[in-house]
């Protein structure tokens, strides 16, 4: 706790919030709750992210998973390196129809050139709605590399 009784923000969460999750995640109202190399947690509301029949869109699960997995891989990669997604898959096993869903991202493999993460997405009742797995390739940045206008 800090002196004003608000919870302390971890260095990883501070890094992720400063970097940002990107415009798509912002439009989906994604909220980061926890962020470290070992575990990342974020939520999105079902409302506003549905398909025409009112279920959370399958792509929303994937965006949540890719956002968490790619950011986690970049935290792992460290300064002067960049992680980019090269493979992602999702298996949807339950449909969220209201409230929020929570994605919990954990590493399956953390190497020098590759990181693999699993993201389990659950609804407020604790039902597993989707399991996302993402593989990120990690590379050294060129010495003259500059981030784009949205970095």
**Which residues belong to the active site?**
66
Give dist(CA 33, CA 88) in Å, integer.
23
What dihedral angle (degrees, nearest 10) is formed by the CA atoms of 93, 98, 104, 109?
40
Provide the H-helix boundaries in 1-151: 11-19, 23-27, 58-77
Is the CB of residue 129 less than 8 Å from the CB of residue 122?
yes
Sheet with strand 40-45: strands edge to edge: 31-35, 40-45, 100-110, 114-123, 128-140, 81-92
Both structure tokens of 81: 């390196």
Angle at 139 between CA 135 and CA 141, to 5 degrees: 140
């Amino acid at each position: 706790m800090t002196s004003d009784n608000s919870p302390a923000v971890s260095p990883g969460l501070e890094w992720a919030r400063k970097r940002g999750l990107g415009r798509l995640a912002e439009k989906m109202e994604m909220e980061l709750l926890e962020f470290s190399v070992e575990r990342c947690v974020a939520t999105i509301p079902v409302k506003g992210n549905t398909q025409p029949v009112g279920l959370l869109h399958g792509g929303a699960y994937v965006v949540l998973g890719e956002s968490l997995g790619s950011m986690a891989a970049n935290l792992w990669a460290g300064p002067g390196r960049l992680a980019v997604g090269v493979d992602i898959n999702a298996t949807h096993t339950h449909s969220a129809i209201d409230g929020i869903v929570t994605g919990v991202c954990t590493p399956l493999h953390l190497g020098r050139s590759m990181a693999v993460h699993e993201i389990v997405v659950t609804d407020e009742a604790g039902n597993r709605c989707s399991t996302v797995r993402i593989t990120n390739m990690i590379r050294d940045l060129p010495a003259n590399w500059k981030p784009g206008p949205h970095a």
